[in-house]
């Protein structure tokens, strides 16, 4: 028997598959229009200089943006990424990444979110990346409901 | 004894660590100002709907852009990403991704590259993402030479 | 009596109003999915250093992208800009700007175009900006048909 | 006799030429790392539907970002735009635009700013665009000092 999907179930489902699951993304908080997702450091997530890989930072930001936008949509709808843009501001050299996304605007089926990504070392956080993402709301295909 | 680095050694070194290595990035071609990098499909690289994850597509595009820009720099210099922007154009549902990057412009220490990412199924290729990346040229730190 | 709108009439109409008209945008060519728009130099279009202002370059690129996307849509539809991104590659110090746009992909109501902007001095052209734009197709409001 | 340039003189100088001057940009506030610039509505600044033209919105955002970044630099340095990205969130149909920029990060000679652009109607403000800009710090050429 399937549990009916609510925003948090859908976010959990998004997060429990494929790359998000393999990399170890953790959903810390969800509210309609906002989300926090974190990722502990692991050697297979780094780049040449030993910091988190830009693509991994982008994946985390994308996931947070998708959950933030989706959590503000009616049940049965999901936000998919039209485009994403990330500025890398300082080396992501901490033990953990934390991405905090919020929806700036939903207009028709288009949503725009911003995401701040922090590199965390113990209690200290440094803003390491800033992201904007444009999302499109779709009906969740029947096989995923 | 270390082999002295030439452009291709440096690209190989960039590619042989961390996420690039773990995900299975393959460098197919390098010329000064261009690069092709590919990635076979694997379950742990996908998103919710079973296509390549947007963050993984971005990571591959980023790697290709970095190698394209770096391969046009003098020995001992490396291009690092200032910002990256990706439009997702169609589902990346193929068996392999192929990212083809070229440097549009190097001006002072700033380089701009565009990357076309194709989703490949056998002989058929579909443009699934288009990316621009702004890179900054740095001296390669001594411990990486 | 109004001439019924065809792609070129609509593009002409877009171009004949407001800023486009005041600045002096010229439509050189339109085909379904592509457009060329140019702009002669004038003192009130420049920035601090005496080159074309980045916002003016963006306006021209935006117009070219909008016409390229709109020209590929069914009659009565128009592309409006969701987001635009421009990399400035070299000083736009010529006598004229030429923006060449092409639609990369139309998918549902979302279109993505790239635009190359050249700074022209006599017969010589220099790529001075590269742009991507995401457009959304809308029904043209009745009062504009 | 020239007044020696301080941050506000330089911002004034940037704003007093070319397009900024012709369009009527007004600098409302400058602090190191932030700036507010506004623009009253005028027919020659609009697009097809009678709202502020996207290129004009971008020009205003660009100006605000440039002043925010430049105001945080040592005297004799100026920030020029490497790339700019704008999401258009709602029609800019008000009587005035207000752009508020802040520097997110200065790192070496690269600065990143975000800009919120509001469409203002009397006392009411609507967020109509969100922008990120990457700037490069240059020495101000001698003839502009």
* Residue D5 reports pLDDT greater than 70: no
Contact D104 A112 (CB under 8 A): no
CA distance B2 to B10: 12
Token pair for residue B74?
Answer: 């003098």
Instruction: Name the E strands within D43-121.
Output: 77-88, 96-107, 110-121
What per-residue confidence (pLDDT) applies to D11?
85
| A4 confidence band (pLDDT: 50, 70, 90) | very low
Helices (H), chain D: 7-15, 18-23, 54-71
* Residue C70 reports pLDDT greater than 80: yes
Contact C45, C38 (CB under 8 A): no
* Residue D110 reports pLDDT greater than 80: yes
Over residues D81-103, the pLDDT tens digits come to 999 999 999 999 999 999 999 99
- Of C9, C45, C44, C43, residue with least CA distance to C27: C9
Cα dihedral B56→B58→B63→B69 (10° resolution): 170
* Residue B56 reports pLDDT greater than 90: yes
Percent over 90 (pLDDT), chain A:
83
The dihedrals phi and psi of C117, each to the nearest 5 degrees, come to: -115, 125
What per-residue confidence (pLDDT) applies to B15?
82
Burial A93-121, CB ≥16 within 10 A → b, else e: ebebbbbbbbbbbbeebbbbbbbbbbbbe
Decide if A88 touches D, using CB distance below 8 A: no
Q: Pick from A17, A18, A128 the residue to mutate for testing the B interface (most B CBs within 10 Å).
A: A18
Over residues D111-138, the pLDDT tens digits come to 999 999 999 999 999 999 999 999 999 9
* Between residues A144 and B53, the one the model is more confident about: B53
- How far is Cα of residue C119 from the mean position of the Cα atoms in its chain? 15
Over residues A44-99, the pLDDT tens digits come to 999 989 999 999 999 999 999 999 999 999 999 999 999 999 999 999 999 999 99
Contact A60 B55 (CB under 8 A): yes
Token pair for residue A29?
Answer: 């908080």
Tally of CA atoms within 13 A in the half-sphere of C96 that contains its CB? 17
**C-beta atoms surrounding A15 within 10 Å:** 18
Q: Map out the domains of chain D with their CATH numbers.
A: 7-144 (3.10.129.10)
> Complex ipTM, two decimals?
0.93
Decide if A85 touches C, using CB distance below 8 A: yes
What per-residue confidence (pLDDT) applies to D40?
98
Inter-chain CB pairs, A–D, below 8 Å: 36
- As to burial, measured by CB atoms within 10 angstroms (0-12 exposed, 13-18 middle, 19+ buried), residue A141 is exposed
pTM of the shown model: 0.94
Q: Where on the phi/psi map is residue D76: left (φ > 0), alpha (ψ -120 to 50), or beta?
A: left
């Amino acid at each position: 028997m399937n549990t009916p999907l609510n925003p948090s179930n859908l976010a959990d489902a998004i997060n429990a598959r494929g790359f998000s699951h393999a990399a170890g993304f953790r959903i810390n908080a969800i509210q309609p229009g906002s989300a926090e997702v974190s990722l502990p450091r692991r050697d297979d997530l780094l780049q040449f200089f030993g910091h988190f890989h830009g693509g991994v930072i982008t994946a985390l930001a994308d996931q947070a943006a998708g959950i933030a936008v989706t959590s503000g949509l009616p049940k049965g709808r999901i936000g998919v990424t039209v485009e994403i843009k990330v500025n890398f501001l300082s080396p992501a050299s901490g033990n953990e990444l934390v991405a905090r996304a919020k929806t700036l605007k939903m207009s028709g089926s288009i949503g725009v979110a911003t995401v701040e990504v922090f590199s965390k070392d113990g209690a200290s956080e440094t803003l390491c990346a800033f992201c904007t993402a444009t999302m499109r709301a779709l009906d969740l295909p029947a096989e995923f409901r």
